[in-house]
């Protein structure tokens, strides 16, 4: 790596003592995993693996971080004695990165990080306290639209459902291939949800046309966007150590194309992103290295959007505050469980 190497920093980049343009925020959150475990160690494993990722991105045309400042934060772990208390702690931890002055990339951890990220995103200047302005683009094997799993409404299996309850305006999903009947019914009945199932986009004969429709959908999105990448959205052969690897998923290049098309949309501004459900693989670093490569692609896509005027710092905006203890008080619209 050119310019030196610093352990514990994403891509091994030397930490620069200056205000960051981008931040990598590792979130070691894992309280509701229902099959494979180890997501709490995933963010750190991803940072370690990133030291072996090439800095050059051919789409950007130069090395990341392309003259900008990238900071990697220490790994965050919640300390509250309850699940909802830890969700509120997470909001407090990440909310400062939604000032509009930096681009945050969050590393998880289970997908249960999504609702608190969305609550924090409500304070972003482009969202202005109205989450209905915000769209979420989700790549995932699972719909994550359950009302609860094992009695827990804030399970990782409910991440998209709770984000809709928090108030996001629209959810765009691709890679979906494992879901319950109640999730299928919600997809059919909720006009805020647009889902492209893997059985269509990955079909050996007609998948190409379905994939083109997905890309056209991304090109039509307007306004602020959060991009959430559950790495089990990829085919299980690429990320075998993730908590619930599922066959029949997206190829690596489909995920790259999704990132490039979304970030190049001139009508949309990607204000933040996360890569989640990373689990360290013991016998080979394939899972965490794949996650690190895609996280790097997200940063490269942001840098190009910044260079070409699709993203710029939102300074001189009035700051909004998120509601204190939001999740400890949250009742939602379709459940009433006390976690």
Q: What is the pLDDT of residue 275?
A: 98
| CA–CA separation, 213 and 140 (whole Å) | 17
Q: What is the per-residue pLDDT for 336?
A: 37
State the burial class of residue 157 (Cβ atoms within 10 Å of its Cβ: 0-12, 13-18, 19+).
buried
pLDDT at 338: 38
Strand partners, 107: 26, 275
Torsion of CA 206, 212, 214, 215, to 10 degrees: 160
Whole-number pLDDT of residue 339: 36
Tokens linked to 162: 């709770």
Query: What pLDDT sits at residue 243?
Result: 82
**What pLDDT is recorded for position 323?**
66
CB 66 within 8 A of CB 34: no
CA distance 53 to 11: 7
Give the tens place of pLDDT for each residue, 150-170.
Answer: 888 888 889 999 999 999 999
pLDDT of residue 109: 85
- The Cα 213–Cα 196 span in angstroms is 9
Residues making up the chain, counted from first to last: 339
| 296, 305, 218, 221 alpha-carbon torsion, rounded to 10° | 140
Helix, strand or coil, per DSSP, at residue 128: coil
For the chain, list the domains and their CATH numbers.
Answer: 19-329 (3.40.800.10)
Are 49 and 26 within 8 A, CB to CB?
no
140: left (phi over 0), alpha (psi -120 to 50) or beta: beta
> What's the predicted TM-score (pTM) here?
0.94
pLDDT at 283: 86
Cα–Cα dist 143/175, whole Å: 9
**Do 169 and 192 contact (CB within 8 A), yes or no?**
yes
Residues 318-330: pLDDT tens digits?
A: 556 666 788 988 8
Instruction: Please measure the distance between the N-terminal and C-terminal CA atoms of the chain and give it in whole angstroms.
Output: 46
- The two three-digit tokens of residue 128, written as one number: 């202005």
Residue 328, classed as helix, strand or coil, is helix
Greatest Cα-to-Cα distance within the chain, rounded to the nearest angstrom: 54
Which residue in 94, 31, 110, 43 sits closest to 272, CA to CA? 94
- In the prediction, which pLDDT does 159 show? 93
Is the Cβ–Cβ distance between 134 and 224 less than 8 Å?
yes
pLDDT given for residue 40 in this prediction: 87
What was the pLDDT predicted at 317? Answer: 55
DSSP string, 65-115: TTTS-EEEPPPB----SSHHHHHHHHHHHHGGGGSSSSEEEEEESSGGGHH
Determine contact, residues 301/273, Cβ cutoff 8 Å. no
* Segments in the chain below pLDDT 50: 1-2, 316, 336-339
The token pair at 164 is: 């809709």
Give the pLDDT of residue 320.
Answer: 60
Residue 193 host element (H or E): strand 193-197
Residue 38 has a pLDDT of 73
Of 119, 120, 72, 76, whose CA–CA distance to 98 is shortest?
120
Assign 232 to helix, strand or coil. helix
């Amino acid at each position: 790596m050119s310019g030196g190497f610093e352990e514990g920093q994403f891509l091994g980049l030397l930490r620069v003592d200056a205000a960051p343009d981008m931040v990598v925020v590792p979130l070691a959150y894992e309280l509701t995993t229902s099959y494979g475990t180890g997501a709490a160690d995933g963010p750190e494993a991803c940072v370690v693996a990133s030291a072996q990722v090439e800095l050059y991105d051919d789409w950007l045309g130069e090395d990341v971080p392309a003259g900008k400042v990238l900071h990697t934060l220490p790994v965050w772990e919640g300390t509250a004695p309850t699940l909802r208390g830890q969700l509120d702690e997470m909001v407090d931890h990440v909310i400062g990165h939604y000032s509009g002055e930096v681009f945050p990339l969050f590393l998880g951890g289970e997908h249960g990080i999504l609702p608190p990220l969305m609550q924090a995103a409500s304070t972003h200047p482009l969202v202005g306290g109205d989450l209905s302005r915000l769209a979420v683009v989700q790549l995932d094997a699972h719909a994550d639209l359950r009302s609860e799993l094992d009695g827990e409404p804030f399970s990782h299996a409910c991440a998209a459902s709770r984000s809709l309850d928090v108030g996001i305006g629209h959810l765009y999903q691709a890679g979906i291939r494992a879901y319950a009947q109640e999730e299928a019914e919600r997809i059919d009945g909720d006009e805020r949800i647009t889902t492209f199932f893997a059985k269509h986009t990955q079909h050996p004969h007609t998948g190409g046309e379905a994939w083109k429709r997905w890309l056209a959908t991304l090109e039509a999105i307007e306004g602020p966007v959060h991009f959430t990448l559950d790495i089990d959205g990829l085919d299980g052969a690429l990320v075998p150590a993730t908590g619930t690897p599922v066959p029949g998923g997206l190829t690596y290049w489909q995920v790259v194309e999704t990132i490039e098309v979304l970030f190049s949309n001139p009508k949309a501004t990607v204000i933040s992103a996360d890569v989640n459900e990373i689990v360290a693989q013991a016998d080979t670093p394939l899972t965490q290295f794949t996650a690190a490569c895609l996280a790097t692609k997200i940063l490269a896509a942001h840098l190009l959007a910044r260079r070409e005027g699709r993203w710029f710092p939102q300074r001189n905006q009035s700051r909004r505050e998120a509601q204190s203890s939001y999740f400890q008080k949250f009742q939602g619209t379709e459940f009433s469980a006390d976690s």
